[in-house]
Amino acid sequence: MSAPLLDVKGLTKSFGGLVATDGLDLGVSAGETHAVIGPNGAGKTTLLAQLAGQLRPDAGTIHFDGADITGLSAPARSLRGLARSFQITSIFRDFTVLDNVALAIQAHAGHSFRLWQPARRDAALRDPAGAILERVGLGGRAEVVAGNLAHGEQRQLEIAMALGTRPKLLLLDEPMAGMGGEDSERMKAFLGSLKGTCTMLLVEHDMDAVFTLADRVTVMVYGRALACGAPAEIRADERVRQAYLGDEEGV
């Protein structure tokens, strides 16, 4: 078996006395959809922040696409093909929807020390951005100022921006957070359509979505990987049931 696309070894991060990530090992193979689940406070968002480079781990290594990226900054990781969506919507609120995605594309279209030509008339940025908006279902909202979008649409934009960077690996932090039934179904279907075109690491509380979408599931408790396996194995795992799933009837 070839080396995994993302290979995390012994990742450790603590804040003061609180250990958020505790010697975590995790591997994501190319092409798979890998879900990370766990109770609140298990350290899932902290894990994503360390993978994407917003936080520096205290110890451990992160290998991505064959290279050690542990010491790289967030932008450097993005340029290598690692994209992240945020649990708390993080978009450019003063820009239009199209601008948001065009910026993501611009970040990966060479340097931006271009001070003269108008960027908003640059087809090399606008056309692919428009295509991505069509894909995520925001095609009709391109000229709306992002801050004025409805919550569900902002979540879609969040994903659209991550896709704009043409990632090899997409880190999704609760893409359905705060979404109602219909929006949530649409997002689930959309993520399903991404399967196979893009490797995904999905942190999500919606168990229905996790077990529908994921090829493998890692269960995190107290900053550690308690178990890792196919959805069926995880459902059957006694330790997981006790530690986490046990309190959720009917899973």
Partner 1 sequence: MSAMNLRRWLTALCLALFALVPVVAGVFGQPFLLDIFDRIMIISIAAVSLNLIMGYGGMISFGHAAYLGIGAYSIGIPAYYGYYDAALQLPLAIAASALFALVTGYICLRTRGVYFIMITLAFAQMAYFAFISVEEYGGDDGLVIEARSRVPAGVVDLESNVQLYYVVFAVLVGALYLVHRIVNSRFGLVIQGAKDNDERMRAIGFNTFRYRLTCYVIAGAMCGLAGWLLGNFNNFFSPEMIAWTRSGELIFMVVLGGMGSVFGPVLGTVAFIVLEEVLSGFTIYWELIFGAFLILVVVFVRGGLMGMIAKFERPRP
The binding site for partner 1 (CB under 8 A) comprises: 52-54, 73-76, 78-79, 83-84, 86, 90-95, 99, 102-104, 106-108, 112-120, 122, 125, 161-162, 164-165
Q: Are 70 and 239 in contact (CB under 8 A)?
A: no
Report d(CA 93, CA 111) in Å as an integer. 23
- The least CB distance from residue 46 to partner 1, in Å, is 15
Q: Which residues contact 239 (CB under 8 A, 6 or more apart)?
A: 226, 227
Give least dist CB 175 to partner 1, A: 15
Identity at 179, one-letter amino acid code:
M
Of residues 7 and 158, the one with the C-beta less far from partner 1: 158
Cα atoms in the 13 Å half-sphere on the side-chain side of 9: 8
Residue 157, classed as helix, strand or coil, is helix
Which amino acid, residue 70? Answer: T
Q: Scanning the structure block, which residue is given the tokens 């199209």?
A: 98
Tokens of residue 56, six digits: 């520096």
Nearer to partner 1, 79 or 189 (CB): 79
Smallest gap from residue 115 Cβ to partner 1 (A): 5
Identity of the residue, 78 or 199, whose beta carbon is nearer to partner 1 in the bound complex: 78
Closer of 109 and 227 to partner 1 (Cβ): 109
Report the nearest approach of partner 1 to the CB of residue 140 (Å): 21
Q: Which residue, 174 or 206, has its beta carbon nearer to partner 1?
A: 174
Nearest-approach distance from CB 120 to partner 1, in angstroms: 7
Query: Residue 233: how many CB atoms within 10 A of its CB?
Result: 13
